């Protein structure tokens, strides 16, 4: 599997040489079930090159490998049509109308049509979903993911398909990949997201890639309740889970990061060690003993070497710049960002990050030039507009700052943070009605965003609409029932007429 995964996966390379028999994470960091690449149930959304899908499958967890279906030299299938699946699965049981509920020989009787639906990329590249899953039109109804039935029955609704399947023998079977609710809740910030992610992270029967995704996503909800889940993940025998748990630790206080991540600087797997370096880089050195500082320094050398494997790519130098910034080594960070800009003059993240470094050094005048250049290069870059807006606020250039912040919110409507900041700025300039409009539109796209709901509560209360303020505060309490700050916010709101 790892031999094939070197090419057939979305991954970042961290070592020049691959050694057969070692962990994949000694040479590559495979992507998890990232939003935009996978739907929350794990189906492919963008090109994933098969590996991330296949390791979700029950077949993989039963020992099936790539070469069971594909000749490893010619890459041809070992058999055609349903006969390929018939190598393991009884044709009498599965290649029969009683199982697939379609006319024999029809498109719906194809194993791959139902269990490996095809998506076309770049108009020429037909890619089958290698997670080999049970069609779930009920999830289409619940959370909007696609389903195999809809590929053929384009004139029928997901509700119809869900109803049809529920009447089949075994129609209540959810399949092996039963984690859509947890990952969707984590992405959308739904009520109970933390608990659902904790449950998935601890489910030893779920695919590792799904458990690792849950661990990483827990970082956005980290609390004393979920911290033990990360501790368990850091001790797991699977390096993918250890690496993901470290990812979530970015959100923990420095002392927690130091305690939990430091031992993993000595992890046997390279991908885990360099992630531990990233997590620890921002811990104040005053919190460390001299021996711990030396451990981090040694690990940082390994981190630099891993990034230099792709020294021809600007992303690697931006990664180095970010790490140097965390370490407080600003001169090295500046040089890394400038190297990224030399390699790829159109790579705008380098400009935005260097401008942020200049902000930290009190060099906003230079940062402004960088951000304006980034906007010239990429006029649709919301990140550059947002950073420019904040810089102009610091310079007291409020009118132009408002234009920049508004443009960032317009260019990236799904970025709730950009809308929130723009709305706060509008409110500060006395344009509360406009601020509420921005927040309401952002809230319709991000109904579970805590910042948006908090601002809607406060702004409505200040403008006298206590009923609306209470409505938003109650929604916020539904999402965060144990948050004392939310409880206080709600209790401090007077009722209408008081």
Instruction: Please state, for a pLDDT cut of 70, what percent of the chain lies above it.
Output: 99
389-404: per-residue pLDDT in tens? 999 999 999 999 999 9
- What band does 467 get if pLDDT is binned at 50, 70 and 90? very high
How many CB atoms neighbour CB 483 within 10 A?
14
Q: Say what the alpha-carbon torsion angle 398, 400, 404, 406 is, to the nearest 10 degrees.
A: 70
Q: Where are the alpha helices (DSSP H) in 24-110?
A: 51-54, 58-61, 66-69, 82-85, 91-94, 97-100
Q: What is the pLDDT of residue 123?
A: 82
The domain 419-498 belongs to what CATH superfamily? Tetratricopeptide repeat domain (1.25.40.10)
- What band does 494 get if pLDDT is binned at 50, 70 and 90? confident
Q: What is the pLDDT of residue 171?
A: 66
Instruction: Specify whether the CB–CB gap between 47 and 121 falls below 8 A.
Output: yes
- What band does 365 get if pLDDT is binned at 50, 70 and 90? very high
Instruction: Please state, for a pLDDT cut of 90, what percent of the chain lies above it.
Output: 94
**Averaged pLDDT for residues 88-116:** 94
For the cut 70, the answer to whether the pLDDT of residue 470 exceeds it is yes
- The CA distances from residue 43 to 63, 194, 205, 404, in Å, are 21, 22, 19, 37
Instruction: Specify whether the CB–CB gap between 246 and 215 falls below 8 A.
Output: no
- Domains in the chain: boundaries: 2-143, 419-498
> Residue 119 belongs to what H/E stretch?
strand 118-121
**Averaged pLDDT for residues 59-72:** 96
401-429: per-residue pLDDT in tens? 999 999 999 999 999 999 999 999 999 99
144-189: per-residue pLDDT in tens? 999 999 999 999 999 999 999 988 877 667 899 999 999 999 999 9
Please tell me the pTM assigned to this model.
Answer: 0.95
For the chain, the 3-state helix, strand and coil shares in percent, each to the nearest 5, are: 60, 5, 35
Strand pairing class (11-13; 28-30): antiparallel
Q: Say how far residue 408 (Cα) sits from the centre of its chain.
A: 21
Instruction: Specify whether the CB–CB gap between 326 and 299 falls below 8 A.
Output: no
273-325: per-residue pLDDT in tens? 999 999 999 999 999 999 999 999 999 999 999 999 999 999 999 999 999 99
Q: What is the pLDDT of residue 174?
A: 86
For the cut 80, the answer to whether the pLDDT of residue 498 exceeds it is no
**Averaged pLDDT for residues 356-363:** 98
């Amino acid at each position: 599997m790892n031999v094939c995964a070197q090419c057939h996966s979305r991954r970042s390379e961290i070592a020049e040489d691959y050694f057969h028999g070692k962990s994949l994470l000694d040479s590559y960091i495979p992507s998890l079930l990232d939003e935009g690449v996978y739907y929350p149930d794990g189906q492919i959304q963008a090109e994933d090159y098969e590996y991330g899908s296949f390791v979700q499958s029950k077949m993989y967890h039963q020992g099936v490998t790539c070469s069971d279906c594909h000749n490893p030299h010619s890459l041809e299938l070992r058999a055609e049509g349903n006969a390929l699946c018939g190598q393991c699965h009884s044709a009498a049981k599965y290649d029969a109308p009683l199982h697939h509920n379609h006319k024999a020989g029809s498109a719906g009787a194809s194993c791959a049509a139902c269990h490996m639906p095809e998506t076309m990329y770049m108009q020429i590249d037909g890619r089958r979903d290698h997670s080999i899953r049970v069609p779930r039109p009920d999830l289409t109804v619940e959370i909007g993911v696609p389903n195999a039935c809809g590929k053929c029955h384009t004139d029928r609704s997901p509700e119809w398909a869900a109803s049809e399947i529920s009447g089949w023998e075994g129609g209540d079977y959810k399949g092996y990949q039963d984690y859509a609710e947890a990952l969707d809740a984590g992405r959308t910030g739904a009520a109970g997201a933390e608990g659902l992610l904790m449950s998935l992270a601890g489910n030893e029967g779920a695919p590792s890639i799904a458990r690792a995704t849950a661990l990483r996503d827990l970082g956005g909800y980290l609390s004393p309740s979920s911290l033990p889940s990360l501790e368990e993940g850091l001790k797991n025998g699977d390096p993918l889970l250890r690496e993901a748990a470290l990812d979530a630790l970015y959100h923990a206080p420095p002392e927690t990061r130091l305690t939990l991540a430091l031992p993993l600087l000595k992890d046997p797997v390279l991908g885990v060690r360099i992630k531990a370096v990233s997590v620890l880089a921002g811990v104040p050195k005053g919190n460390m003993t001299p021996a711990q500082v030396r451990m981090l320094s040694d690990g940082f050398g390994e981190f630099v070497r891993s990034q230099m494997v792709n020294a021809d790519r600007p992303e690697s130098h931006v990664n180095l710049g970010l790490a140097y910034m965390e370490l407080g080594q600003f001169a090295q960070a500046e040089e890394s960002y400038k190297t990224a800009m030399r390699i790829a003059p159109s790579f705008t993240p380098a400009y935005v990050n260097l401008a942020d470094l200049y902000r930290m050094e009190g060099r906003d005048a230079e940062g402004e030039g960088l951000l304006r250049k980034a906007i010239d290069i990429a006029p649709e870059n919301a990140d550059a507009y947002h950073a420019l807006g904040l810089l102009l606020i610091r310079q007291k250039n409020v009118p132009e700052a408002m234009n920049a912040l508004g443009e960032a919110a317009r260019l990236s409507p799904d970025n709730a943070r950009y809308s929130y900041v723009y709305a706060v700025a509008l409110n500060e300039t006395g344009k509360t009605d406009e601020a509420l409009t921005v927040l309401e539109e952002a809230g319709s796209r991000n109904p579970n965003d805590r910042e948006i709901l908090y601002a809607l509560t406060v702004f409505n209360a200040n403008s006298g609409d206590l009923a609306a303020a209470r409505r938003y505060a109650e929604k916020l309490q539904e999402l965060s029932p144990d948050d004392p700050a939310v409880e206080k916010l709600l209790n401090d709101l007077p009722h209408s007429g008081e």
